[in-house]
A and B are shown apart, each in its own frame.
Chain A
Amino acid sequence: MLKTLRTNDTALMILFTLVVLAGPLILAPVGAGYPDLMQRFVIYGIFAIGFNILFGLTGYLSFGHAAFLGVGSYSALWMLKLLSINIVPAIIFAVVVSGLFALLIGFVSLRRSGIYFSILTLAFAQMSYNLAYSVLTPITNGETGLQLDLEDPRILDSAGSAGQVASPSFFGLEMGDTAVVPFLGMDLQFNVGFYVSALILIGMFYLSLRIFRSPFGMILRAVKSNQTRLNYTGFNSRPYTLTAFVISGMYAGLAGALLVCMDPLAGAERMQWTASGEVVLMTIMGGAGTLIGPVLGAGIIKYFENIFSRINDEVVLGWFSALPDWLAEAFTTVISPFLGSGWHISLGLIFMLVVIFLPGGLVEGANRLMNLFTRLSGPRKNTASEEDAYADKGSLPTKAAPSSTVVNTKES
């Protein structure tokens, strides 16, 4: 059993790596192959993976994760301003600072669970947001947002070219650099920033996979299924949940740091609670508690945000050009409020549908489909992601076994 699990994980890891690295090739045909959007896919993927370590494993629903994203952004940008334009110290510093911040908030918030935990984290995030706007203006630059400046000291860098604001780089490789390669009539854009974030994403995905498979991850799942029972067995669960909280805060800080490395501008609206809501949407949509789900959800939501919000009435009318005019116009009037600037409506609707009918997210949906097909055509084969979905629901397939008994204690 363990052996199959491992080979499955290796396969998943290799597949994931290949897909991420081939990003420009895969995304170009669907109109998403430009650097800015691809970077967003990857960075929000990291954010969602981190959120999933907390919510997916322990079941603690944090509504304040954007605060860590914001803290990460601000601290990384300060490092870029003060220390060096190289992104490495910025990222390290951001992760450390957001980890400390998460330790503080987690220490207080984790004293409560359930809805109180959600409200506490929400309160802390709103507090940080309001502080960033008002009292902390010297650090955050208030409404204008913090950005790079000509007068930045940058003590580690040699004096750069005058009259130009430097752009963040990785030992000389500028994040904005893009190689455009024509391929089959498409322009594939290979961007430095994308690949830096993509490598980090792959590393972070591996880390989360290890956490999912570790004894530590098992304890976290036990917290989700029944914390009281876990406490009665003699485990003190709080250090475990706190560690999970800090890890996920550090993931968020890392994502925030990468955001400013790609685009050196940090604003307080990044910490608003709608931003916290967004990462919740991503994780649920993809599938909370599964490995691949959050990345999937992040990709889908960011794709919709960028592609769907650009569709206007003309485009919709174009789709129905084959139909008679009055019918095309009728369809357009029905559909267009849900696209373009109104795409948030469809996002909210899809999200509600997912929560109502498919609480396991898209991964569960894919599994259901797969089960349907395999049931129709002979005996079925376990895949790694399937395993996750089952582990989450607490009903493992009959083959699965002793190593997972803790998970089985859950009765939903």
Chain B
Amino acid sequence: MDAILLQVLNGLDKGSAYALIALGLTLIFGTLGVVNFAHGALFMIGSFCTVTFNNLLSFERVTLSETELSPWGTPLEIHVPYVELWFGELGATMIDYSVFWSILFAIPVMLLIGIVMERGLIKHFYKRPHADQILVTFGLAIVLQEVIKTVYGANPIPQPAPDAFVGSVDIGAMIGMADNAVIYPIWRLVYFLFAGVVIGGIFAFLRYTTFGMVVRAGMADRETVGLLGIDIDKRFTAMFGLAAVVTGLAGVMYTPILSPNYHMGMDFLVLCFVVVVVGGMGSLTGAVAAGFLLGILQSFASMPEVKDFLFGFSIDQVIIYLVAVIILLTRPRGLMGRKGVMET
């Protein structure tokens, strides 16, 4: 029982990331009908927003100490971040919690990137075949990835979680199981809750606001909405921006789990395409459900018991692809795909 619970929990953090990225992908596909291969790059840019913001915050003033000497006999350098100089204790807390602050930083940045991307490039590809869309966004993904590599270097840049969230929590004891049976890192719990809030927010936005209603109507029948005198293109551009924000935030909050590096976007992109396909092209709930499902499935596949059962073959690396192949062959529209949407 506790082993199962542990695997479910382990799957949740990866699953949350998959769900968020897949949600962004599906928002774009469902509204604009564009297959966006540059989406992984947005995830990566999001996580580098954290790096940038953290660097900005901890911009230091360096002074030489007059009394103390370093072990090399030179005057000791004292590094004091400007934020601390200005705000004192508050500044130190700000640096500690920079991951959360960078959410505020990332939202406008990602929104801008998303809108520029849609207006500047993708707009011209609505009428062209899916293959062309794949190719041009693939090229864009290469460019974005390489630009980040040139600016930030090829090595991963570790980002610490705030001190209060370092360490783990004994979930087993909380729900009345034996002590130390189910121990879970706090940050992953935070990530899961965060993903839940964002996903809930997006769904509520689409469900309960007029804007969301128009967008949903546009997803169902773009032409009719246009005929009713609504500038649907403008709203869809906004949705592209929103999708970029969702994906970027997934990246921002993922940084303490995975140190940002320039190729993380590509790694996640392939998996998230698979997630979208399993969930059903164009289905938002499907994307979220499939994200969590595949994340949990992956963590189950890495259990030693499963490995023993399969005569020593470990399948955690391939389980997602295997599931995708089976789903595509037996139920091409995916788990929750609408009938008639991209079935062939």
Chain A residues at the B interface, C-beta cutoff of 8 Å: 59, 61, 63, 108, 111-116, 118-120, 122-124, 126-127, 130-131, 133-135, 273-274, 277, 280, 284, 337, 341-342, 344-345, 347-349, 351-352, 355-356, 359
Contacts and interface: CB of A to CB of B under 8 A. Distances in A.
8 contacts: A114-B130, A115-B134, A130-B318, A337-B150, A344-B146, A344-B149, A348-B143, A348-B146
A362 B201 CA distance: 47
Given A112-B328, A352-B136, A355-B135, A347 B130 contact: no
Contact of A135 (B139, B273, B314, B329): B314
Interface stretch (B80-88, B237-245, B319-327): B319-327
Contacts of A63: 134
Interface in B74-129: 121, 124
B294 to A, nearest CB: 12
Contact of A356 (B124, B150, B266, B325): B124
A133 B321 CA distance: 15
B209 interface: no
A127 B138 contact: no
B134 A118 contact: yes
B132 A359 contact: yes
A130 B321 CA distance: 10
Interface string B140-161: 1111011101100000000000
Contacts, number: 107
Contacts of B314: 134-135
Pick the 7 closest A-B CB pairs, nearest first: A348-B142, A348-B143, A130-B317, A352-B139, A351-B139, A123-B321, A127-B321
Nearest to A342: B150
A61 B141 CA distance: 18
Count chain B CB atoms within 10 A of each CB in A120, A277, A348 and give the residue with the most.
Answer: A348
Given A122-B273, A134-B314, A351 B132 contact: no
A44 B247 CA distance: 36
A115 B133 CA distance: 10
Contacts of B317: 130-131, 133-135
A347 B147 CA distance: 12
B321 A124 contact: yes
A355 B321 contact: no
Interface of B: 35, 121, 124, 130-132, 134-136, 138-143, 145-147, 149-150, 266, 270, 273-274, 277, 313-315, 317-318, 321-322, 324-325, 328-329, 332, 342, 344
B139 A120 contact: no
Contacts of B150: 337, 341-342, 345
A272 to B, nearest CB: 9
A8 B18 CA distance: 53
A262 to B, nearest CB: 27
A59 B142 CA distance: 23
B266 A274 contact: yes
B136 A123 contact: no
A280 B321 CA distance: 22
Contacts of A351: 135, 139, 142
A120 B328 contact: yes
Given A122-B273, A127-B321, A61 B131 contact: yes
Contacts of A115: 35, 130, 134, 342
B238 to A, nearest CB: 24
Given A116-B277, A347-B142, A108 B270 contact: no
Nearest to B269: A273
Contacts of B315: 135
Contact of A120 (B140, B143, B325): B325
Nearest to B35: A115
A348 B140 contact: yes
A108 B328 CA distance: 10
Nearest to B276: A119
